[in-house]
C-alpha cells in the first residue's frame, strides 16, 4: 500500500511518515503543495493524506486536481480548524474523511485502514478466527479451544470488531463509534470496562492471551508468542 503525505510541518510530517511506515505502508512525504499535486497525479498512490494549509497549492486545490483527473483514491484531510464550512467544502470536493488537529496517531492509523479497506471488497466471511478463538457470524456463537463462550450482544459486536481488524491497534473512540455508535470523544472509561469484561470471558481461563492493551493508544487482538 503506497501513501502520499503532503504536510508542511516538518515534525508532523516526519512522525506521520515514520508511524505509517512502521505500520507497514510505503509512504512518501512532501512539504509543498505544488510537488504534492504533481506526485498525487503521477505517483499511483492508494491513499492521500493532505494538510489543508500548504505552501504552493492548498489541500483543496490538490483534491480538485486529483478528482478532475479522474483519480478516485481515498483522500484524508488533516486540518487545524474544525470550521463547519471547511468540512462542507471538503466533502463537496470529494474528500473521504478528515481529522482535526490535535489528533491521536492511533486514530489516524485506524482511519487510514478503514479508508483503504472501503475500496476492496472482502469476501463475505461466516467465521472469524484467531488461534483457537473462533466467532461464527451466522449462528452468533463464540468458541475458544472447543469451549462455548456466552457473550452479550455488545460483547459479541466488540469481539467481532477486534477479530475483523486483528493486529490493528483500535483506539477507544473507534470502538465506541463502531460498537455503540457513539461518535464523540467521550472520556469515560466505558471501553476499558467493556474490554475488561470481554477479557474475563475470552482470555482469563486460557494461558494464551489474545486481547492486549496498547497503553495510551487502544486495544489490539493478536497472538503474541513470548
User: Interface residues for another protein in 54-83 (CB under 8 A)?
Assistant: 82-83
Question: x/- string (CB under 8 A) for another protein, residues 140-179?
Answer: --------------x---------------------x---
Nearer to another protein, 30 or 175 (CB): 175
Helix (H, G, I), strand (E, B) or coil at 13: helix
Nearer to another protein, 81 or 140 (CB): 81
In whole angstroms, the minimum distance from the beta carbon of 161 to another protein comes to: 15
In whole angstroms, the minimum distance from the beta carbon of 99 to another protein comes to: 11
Please pick, from the candidates 120, 121, 122, 184, the single residue that binds another protein as defined by CB under 8 A: 184
- Contact between 104 and another protein by CB under 8 A: the answer reads yes
Residues in the chain: 226
Task: State how far the Cα of 225 lies from the Cα of 137, in Å rounded to an integer.
Answer: 27
Please pick, from the candidates 215, 224, 225, 226, the single residue that binds another protein as defined by CB under 8 A: 215
Please pick, from the candidates 9, 12, 114, 186, the single residue that binds another protein as defined by CB under 8 A: 186
- What are the phi and psi torsion angles at 183 (to 5°)? -100, 50
- Contact between 21 and another protein by CB under 8 A: the answer reads no
- Contact between 204 and another protein by CB under 8 A: the answer reads no
Q: What percent of the chain is helix, strand and coil (3-state, nearest 5)? A: 40, 20, 40
Residue 198 CA: distances (Å) to CA of 3, 142, 226: 35, 12, 22
Whether 160 and 136 have beta carbons less than 8 Å apart is answered as no
Q: How many CB atoms lie within 10 A of CB 194?
A: 20
- Contact between 205 and another protein by CB under 8 A: the answer reads no
What ranges make up the beta strands (E) of 131-204?
133-136, 141-144, 147-149
Task: State how far the Cα of 85 lies from the Cα of 62, in Å rounded to an integer.
Answer: 18
Nearer to another protein, 67 or 199 (CB): 199
Task: State how far the Cα of 104 lies from the Cα of 216, in Å rounded to an integer.
Answer: 9
In whole angstroms, the minimum distance from the beta carbon of 182 to another protein comes to: 6
Residues at the interface with another protein (CB under 8 A): 82-84, 100, 102-104, 154, 176, 180-190, 193-194, 197, 215-216
Amino acid at each position: 500500500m503506497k501513501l502520499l503525505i503532503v504536510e508542511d510541518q516538518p515534525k508532523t510530517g516526519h512522525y506521520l511518515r515514520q508511524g505509517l511506515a512502521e505500520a507497514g505502508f510505503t509512504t512518501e512525504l512532501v512539504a509543498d503543495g505544488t510537488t504534492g499535486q504533481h506526485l498525487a497525479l503521477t505517483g499511483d498512490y492508494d491513499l492521500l493524506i493532505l494538510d489543508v494549509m500548504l505552501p504552493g497549492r492548498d489541500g483543496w486545490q490538490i483534491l480538485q486536481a486529483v478528482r478532475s483527473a479522474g483519480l478516485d483514491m481515498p483522500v484524508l484531510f488533516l486540518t487545524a480548524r474544525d470550521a463547519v464550512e471547511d468540512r462542507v467544502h471538503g466533502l463537496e470536493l470529494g474528500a473521504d474523511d478528515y481529522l482535526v488537529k490535535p489528533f491521536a496517531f492511533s486514530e489516524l492509523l485506524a482511519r487510514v485502514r478503514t479508508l483503504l479497506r472501503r475500496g476492496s471488497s472482502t469476501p463475505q466471511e461466516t467465521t472469524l478466527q484467531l488461534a483457537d478463538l473462533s466467532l461464527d457470524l451466522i449462528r452468533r456463537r463464540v468458541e475458544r479451544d472447543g469451549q462455548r463462550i456466552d457473550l452479550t450482544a455488545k460483547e459479541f459486536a466488540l469481539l467481532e470488531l477486534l477479530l475483523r481488524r486483528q493486529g490493528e491497534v483500535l483506539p477507544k473512540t473507534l470502538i465506541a463509534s463502531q460498537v455503540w455508535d457513539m461518535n464523540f470523544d467521550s472520556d469515560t472509561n466505558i471501553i476499558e470496562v467493556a474490554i475488561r469484561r470481554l477479557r474475563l470471558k475470552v482470555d482469563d481461563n486460557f494461558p494464551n492471551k489474545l486481547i492486549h492493551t496498547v497503553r495510551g493508544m487502544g486495544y489490539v487482538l493478536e497472538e503474541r508468542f513470548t
